[in-house]
């Protein structure tokens, strides 16, 4: 038979129900183990209650279903065995109005099948028993909620201490009354706290940790948590983060309803404490940042970040202004933690790779750049984003193919560009407007969108450029020469 399912409610010890003086219940047969619990009370006068039980019930009956000759046959054995088979936790028999005493054969059957039998006196109604069960459940739920809340607070406090990982493990072990172990990516113990359960249990806990370790399978389909019971010790393992390889293991003599929540909070805290910022990658990134702030050139710092060629991505969300959470999510989607959130644009610096459009974002991507070319790549990404927004494309890459301009010596091309653009060079807004207008084939509306200005502003700036340059901007040859100069300037 499958294991009976019980409702997701805190169980009530049968002993707590028997201790209620207002009910005057009395156990007259079956085991008196203090660990016997009930999950709810159910009344039934069916001769075979099996189809109506879920498991864990205190089944209440007044014996209406009992035939007159039941004591001389197997009726009570059959009746009690079906309750046990269904997973019933205990049987409550009500005295009066049908029976003045509990049938002896029923007492004997409950002893045989080890089912607790409780005598319900005439003055106690079944509804009163059910109400008492729910009251005890509410008290248990409140106590468990208080326990979980206090545990969460103590774990958060432990995470802020100078030795956060050992402190969190110690607090967790104390809260579950067992042992908490942090396993490293290689499977060895990084830190542990609490009472040692013994060699057999510790070995089983290490094996359970391997089941949830993200690096266990290439497909990444390992479960995030797993449980087991060995030598009456409850084991649990939780994978920390995505792909970190750390696992939290717990061994405790019992498993209360709130223990999973407490362990999950500890797992989240340990994920943050053992995350990338505390790993080799995070340390290298921090070192690179410090060196840049202290004046080291980008090409010297880049090897710490693990790549020689880079891309700069500028992105804007389609629906609203970006926030820190959205920026972090975009960085994760693109595969880089190097994210900068500006007023309305998110910038991402990432090693050279293929960039795909991201739902809900408009992206501009630079050409591949060496570290010393990062500033130029940043400008390229900004221009690509402006063009993407103007053309309503989800992603625009900066053109990396060589053109006719590459046929001229670089120094001569740059000198020509400076001379041609000198009349407007002192006004960056005019230069950028001219560049964007030409790239969008003279479209006033698209240029206005790309620059986030009014179309009349675009017209005024282009007219000012034509006057300062003394050029007819409707002439294709003039446009081509100016575009060449802007590409080189």
Q: What is the tens place of the pLDDT at every residue in 378-399?
A: 988 988 898 888 888 899 988 7
Q: CA-to-CA distance for 379 and 363, rounded, in angstroms?
A: 13
Token representation of residue 278 = 């505390």
pLDDT at 451 over 60: yes
Model pLDDT, residue 1: 38
List phi, psi (to 5°) of 263.
-65, -35
Burial of 343 (0-12, 13-18, 19+ CB in 10 A): exposed
Question: pTM score, two decimals?
Answer: 0.49
Higher pLDDT, 117 or 407: 117
pLDDT band at 186 (very low <50, low <70, confident <90, very high): confident
389 Cβ contact partners less than 8 Å away, ≥ 6 residues apart: 316, 362, 449, 450
Question: Averaged over 343-363, what is the pLDDT?
Answer: 87
The predicted pLDDT at position 485 comes to: 80
Give the length of the chain.
Answer: 489
**What pLDDT was estimated at residue 217?**
43
% of the chain at pLDDT higher than 70: 90
Q: Assign 259 a pLDDT band (cuts: 50, 70, 90).
A: confident
Instruction: For residues 20 and 92, give the distance between their C-alpha atoms in angstroms, rounded to a whole number.
Output: 15
Q: Is the pLDDT of residue 50 over 60?
A: yes
Round to whole Å and give the CA distance between 5 and 1.
12
Per-residue tokens: 143: 């106590």
Residue 162 clears pLDDT 80, i.e. is over it: no
Question: Is the pLDDT confidence value at 278 over 50?
Answer: no
Q: Summarize pLDDT for 420-429 with one digit per residue, the tens.
A: 888 888 888 8
Strand bridging mode 26-29 / 117-120: antiparallel
Give residue 221's pLDDT.
59
Question: How far from the centroid of its chain's Cα atoms is residue 330's Cα?
Answer: 16
Residue of higher predicted confidence among 418 and 98: 98
Residue 27 in contact with residue 58, Cβ under 8 Å? Answer: no
Query: Which stretch of 41-55, 218-232, 439-453 has the lowest confidence by average pLDDT?
Result: 218-232
């Amino acid at each position: 038979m499958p294991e009976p399912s019980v409702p997701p409610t805190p169980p009530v010890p049968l002993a707590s129900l028997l201790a209620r003086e207002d009910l005057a219940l009395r156990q007259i047969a079956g085991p008196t183990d203090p660990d016997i619990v009930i999950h709810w009370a159910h009344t039934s006068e069916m001769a075979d209650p099996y189809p109506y039980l879920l498991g864990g019930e205190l089944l209440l009956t007044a014996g209406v279903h009992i035939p007159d000759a039941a004591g001389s046959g197997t009726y009570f054995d059959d009746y009690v065995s079906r309750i046990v088979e269904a997973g019933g936790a205990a049987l409550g028999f009500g005295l009066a109005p049908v029976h003045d005493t509990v049938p002896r054969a029923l007492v004997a059957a409950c002893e045989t099948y080890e089912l607790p039998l409780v005598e319900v006196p005439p003055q106690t109604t079944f509804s009163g028993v059910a109400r008492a069960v729910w009251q005890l459940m509410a008290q248990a739920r409140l106590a468990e909620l208080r326990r979980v809340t206090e545990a969460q607070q103590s774990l958060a406090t432990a995470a802020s201490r100078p030795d956060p990982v050992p402190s969190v493990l110690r607090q967790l072990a104390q809260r579950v009354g067992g042992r908490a172990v942090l396993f490293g990516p290689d499977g060895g113990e990084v830190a542990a706290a609490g009472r040692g359960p013994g060699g057999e249990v510790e070995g089983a806990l290490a094996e359970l940790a391997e089941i949830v370790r993200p690096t266990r399978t290439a497909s990444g389909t390992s479960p995030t948590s797993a449980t087991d019971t060995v030598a009456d010790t409850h084991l649990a393992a939780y994978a920390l983060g995505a792909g970190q390889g750390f696992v939290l293991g717990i061994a405790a003599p019992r498993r209360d309803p709130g223990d999973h929540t407490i362990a999950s909070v500890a797992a989240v805290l340990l994920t943050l404490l053992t995350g990338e910022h505390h790993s080799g990658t995070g340390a290298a990134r921090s070192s690179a940042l410090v060196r840049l702030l202290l004046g080291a050139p980008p090409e010297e710092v880049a090897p710490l970040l693990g790549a020689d060629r880079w891309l700069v991505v500028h992105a804007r969300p389609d629906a609203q202004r970006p926030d820190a959470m959205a920026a972090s999510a975009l960085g994760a989607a693109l595969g880089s933690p190097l994210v900068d959130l500006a007023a309305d644009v998110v910038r991402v610096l990432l090693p050279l790779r293929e960039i795909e459009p991201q739902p809900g974002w408009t992206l501009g991507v630079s050409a591949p750049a060496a570290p010393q070319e990062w500033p130029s790549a940043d400008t390229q990404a900004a221009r690509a984003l402006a063009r993407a927004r103007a053309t309503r494309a989800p992603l625009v890459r900066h053109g990396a193919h060589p053109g006719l301009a590459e046929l001229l010596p670089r120094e001569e091309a740059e000198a020509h560009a400076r001379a041609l653009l000198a009349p407007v060079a002192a006004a960056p807004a005019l230069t950028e407007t001219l560049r964007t207008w030409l790239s969008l084939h003279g479209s006033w509306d698209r240029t206005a969108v790309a620059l986030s200005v009014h179309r009349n502003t675009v017209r005024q700036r282009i007219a000012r450029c034509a006057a300062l340059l003394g050029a007819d901007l409707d002439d294709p040859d003039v446009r081509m020469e100016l575009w060449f100069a802007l590409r080189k300037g």
